[in-house]
Structure 1
Amino acid sequence: MSTTTRTSTAERLGRAFGRGWRAYARGERRASNWLVSKGMPRAGATALVWVVKLAVLGVLLYVAFWFALVLLGVAAAGWAAAANTSDEDEWPFTDLTELRKTPGYDPNLYNDTSHELYTDD
């Protein structure tokens, strides 16, 4: 039996998420330092980074709002379509005599054994 411990999938995903977060923070710090090296005050660079973050968050919320609205519309349309269906038979004819009056009526297709043109093959 092996005594080596194996990392779980959750631990691997957590480490990958942590690496991604650190890479993002490092890139943000690099961008802020680049702005400072170009002559922008440190407070201005920090404010600009926050403005960009908030703008991205606003765009994401805007997209999420419209996505949710479309999903609600689809759900409402499905609910309305389900409400319009009835438990009755969907057959458009009320009785056999009305069905027999339709053009192109074939008693064999409807198993109408009482019709004179019905043939039992």
Structure 2
Amino acid sequence: MGTKTRISNAERFGRWAGGMWRGGVRRERRLAGRLVARGLPPGAATALLWLVKLAVLGVLLYAAFWLALLLVFAVAAAWAMQHGTADQEEPDLLNRQAEERDHREGLFYHPASYNDDPDPRFEDD
């Protein structure tokens, strides 16, 4: 006898999702009943509930669009970082490559910090 006494996780999830759905339908009917009790025609109450559902769906789609767009930009940035030219250095402000730069022309250059040939700009008087 191979009868299974335990329920599977899929069946447990299905029962949970079905219970949540039935609870939502029950609350929706209760809200429609309250709207009708307050004097709204039944067709208008149904239309109002559908408008609320469509508005919620629109907000969810709007948020999903922006999250998807953010994900696309993140993937594009990661791809650009991975496939970028890592062997070439970026030029500086004067559009010179790294091998053309002279450290003596840097903003914070002082000859005492380097073991260079004497610099005529820093001659002792």
- Fold in common (TM above 0.5): yes
Deviation at 1:5, TM superposition (A): 1.1
Report which structure shows greater RCO (CA 8 Å, sep ≥6).
1
Aligned counterparts of 1:63 and 1:40: Cα–Cα separation in 2: 32
* Partner residue, 1:14: 14
Alignment of 1:4-83 (within 5 A): 5-83=5-83
Aligned counterparts of 1:4 and 1:65: Cα–Cα separation in 2: 44
Deviation at 1:3, TM superposition (A): 6.0
Deviation at 1:81, TM superposition (A): 1.1
- Alpha-carbon deviations, 1:58-112, whole Å to 9, x = none? 00000000000000000111111112144x599xx98xxxxxxxx47xxxxxxxx
Q: Aligned with 1:5: secondary structure?
A: coil
Deviation at 1:11, TM superposition (A): 0.6
**Scaled by the length of structure 2, what TM-score is found?**
0.66
Aligned counterparts of 1:4 and 1:84: Cα–Cα separation in 2: 57
Runs of at least 4 residues off by over 4 Å: 1-4
Gaps of 5+ in 2: 90-97, 100-113, 116-125
- Alpha-carbon deviations, 1:42-65, whole Å to 9, x = none? 000000000000000000000000
* Partner residue, 1:84: 84
Aligned counterparts of 1:49 and 1:58: Cα–Cα separation in 2: 14
Pair 74,4 (structure 1): closer, same or farther in 2 beyond 3 Å: closer
Amino acid at match of 1:80: A
**Scaled by the length of structure 1, what TM-score is found?**
0.68
Gaps of 5+ in 1: 95-102, 105-121
Q: Aligned with 1:55: secondary structure?
A: helix
Q: How many residues are treated as equivalent by the alignment?
A: 94
